Chain A
Amino acid sequence: MTAALALLGFILLASTSGASRLASARWTQHSPRWGVLAWQTLSGSVLLAGVLVAVVLALCMLPLKINVAELSGLTPAEVARHYEPPTGDWLGLLALAAAVTAAAVVIAHAAGSLLSSFRGRRSQLSTLALVGRKHPDGFILLSHDTPVVYCIPGRARTVVVSTGAQRLLSERELSLVLGHERAHLRSRHDLALTASDAVSRAIPLPLFRTAHEQIATLIEMQADDSARAASDRRSLANALVTLSVGQSPQAAIGAGDTAALARVRRLASPGPDRLSAPRKALVALACATAIVTPVGLALAPAFEASATECCTTSQ
C-alpha cells in the first residue's frame, strides 16, 4: 500500500513541479532535441508510475510476484504479504482494470490518429499528383496565391510550396525553408507528435497537454536549426515573418501559431545545440532518474523487507 502511495506522490510531483520546472527551463531551447527527450521522459515516467500503481496493488494476485521474489530474495508468499493492500483484493482488481482501460484508450487514440493521417496524406498526395507540378529542386509546386509551405510526412516525404510562397520568398529564403521541412521529414517528427497527442487525448492530465504543446514548439525549433550560420538564421526568421504575414490574419484574437514569436527570437541567437557537455550529462541523468524512480518505489517494500529479515535472521 505504501508503494502505491509513494508512486502516486511521484506522479503528483512529476506532473506539477516537474512539469512547471521543465516548462520554464531555458535550456530546452538551446538544444530542442534534448528538450523533446526530456518531455517524453517526464510523460513516460508518469505513465510508468501509473501502471506500477496498479501492479503493486494487485501484485499478490499476479505471477509477477515470483519475479519480485527472485529479485529481492524473499519467497513469493512473503512478497504477497508485504504488498497486500489492507482493503482486500478488490482494490488491486480495480486498479488493474483502470490501467488496462487507460492503456487501451491511449492505443485507440494513437491508432485513430495514424489511420486519419494515413487517409489525409493519401488524399493530399493524389490531388497533388493531379494539380501540382514537380519542381526540379525536389518539391511540388502548387498554383495558389496564399503563401504556404508544408510537408507531408510518411513514406512519400513530400514538400509542397505554393506559387504565392515562391513569389514572396527569395531563392535563399526558400531553400532554407525547404531545409526546415526536410529536417521534419528526416527526424520523423510526426511520430513524436502523434504519440504525445494520443496520450494527451486519452489521459486528461495537464502534464500531457503541456508536454504535447512543448514538444510541438521544440520540434519546430529543432527543424529551424537546419539553418546554422547567423545570416541563414536571419533569413529563415525573415521567411517566417513573410509567410505568416502573407496568410490572411484571423479575425479572432488568440490561438494561432504561438511558437512563431519564440522561433523568431530564438533565430536571433547564433548557432544551434549550445548545450554544454556537462549540461547534457545532467539532463541524461535526470531522465534516467525519472524512469528508475517509479521502478525503485515499486520494488522498495520487497527490498526493505528482505533487508530487515536478513538482519533479524542473522541475529
Chain B
Amino acid sequence: MRQLGQLESAVMHRLWSWDRPAPVREVLDDLNKERPLAYTTVMTVLDNLHGKGLVRREKSGRAWAYTPTMSREEHAAGLLEQVLSDGADRGATLLHFVGKMDATQIDELRAALAHIDEDDA
C-alpha cells in the first residue's frame, strides 16, 4: 500500500506539471522512463485518484483523459486553512507554533521583543 501512495504522488505531479487532460497511456509512458509499470497498474491508480476526488475525467476518443480537480496551491491552501482557522480545534488535531493576531497585538509583540534587545545591549 505504501508503494501505491508513492505512485499516486508521482501521477499527480505529472498531471499538475502538464496542466492539461492526460490519458492513462501518456502517464504510463512517462512513468516507464523511471521504472517499468503495467498499464493496468497506472489505470488502477488513476481510478483510485478519481474515487478520492483528486482527479476528474472526460472521454477523449475511446480513453479517459484525467485532470486534477485542484491545483497544488489549492491543496496547500486547504491545509493551511485548517491550521489558521479560528474554529475550535477540539482534539488538538494540530499544534500551531503561533496563531494569528490583530495589529494591536503585533505592536505589543514588537515592543516586547525590542525590550529584550535593550536588555542585551
The answer, among A116, A150, A251, A255, for a CB contact under 8 Å with B96, is A150
Pick from A114, A129, A148, A193: contact of B83, CB under 8 Å: A148
Given that A143-B72, A237-B113 are known contacts, is A261 also in contact with B120, CB under 8 Å in the complex? Answer: no
Chain A: interface residue count, which band?
Answer: 35 or more
Q: Is the CB of B116 within 8 A of A234?
A: yes
**Most-contacted residue by chain A among B12, B113, B115 (CB, 10 A):** B113
Selected from A113, A114, A144, A252, the residue in CB contact (under 8 A) with B77 is A144
CB–CB A116/B76 < 8 A: no
Are A113 and B112 in touch, CB under 8 angstroms? no
The distance in angstroms between the C-alpha atoms of A254 and B108, with both chains bound, is 13
Name B's interface SS. Answer: helix
Partner of B119, one of A109, A142, A268: A268
Candidate in B78, B92, B96, B108 with the most chain A CB atoms within 10 angstroms = B92
Establish whether residues A247 and B100, one from each chain, have CB atoms under 8 Å apart when the complex forms: yes
Contact of A184 among B80, B95, B110, B119 (CB under 8 A): B95
Nearest CB in chain A: distance from B61 CB, A: 28
The listed residue (A181, A190, A201, A234) touching B92 by CB distance below 8 A is A190
Residues of B near A189 (CB, < 8 A) are 92, 95
Task: Give the nearest-CB partner of A118 in chain B.
Answer: B91
A256 CB–B CB distance under 8 Å: yes
CB of B34 closer than 8 Å to a CB of A: no
3 tightest Cβ-Cβ pairs between the two chains A and B: A117-B91, A257-B99, A113-B91
- Knowing that A255-B86, A260-B98, A261-B112 touch, tell me 17 more A-B residue pairs with CB under 8 angstroms: A120-B93, A143-B73, A144-B73, A148-B84, A150-B96, A151-B94, A162-B80, A193-B91, A193-B92, A198-B90, A237-B113, A244-B106, A249-B102, A252-B102, A256-B105, A257-B100, A257-B101
Chosen A-B contacts, 16 in total, with CB atoms closer than 8 Å, are A120-B82, A128-B79, A130-B75, A142-B76, A144-B80, A148-B96, A152-B94, A181-B95, A189-B92, A241-B106, A241-B110, A245-B109, A247-B84, A250-B101, A253-B102, A261-B105
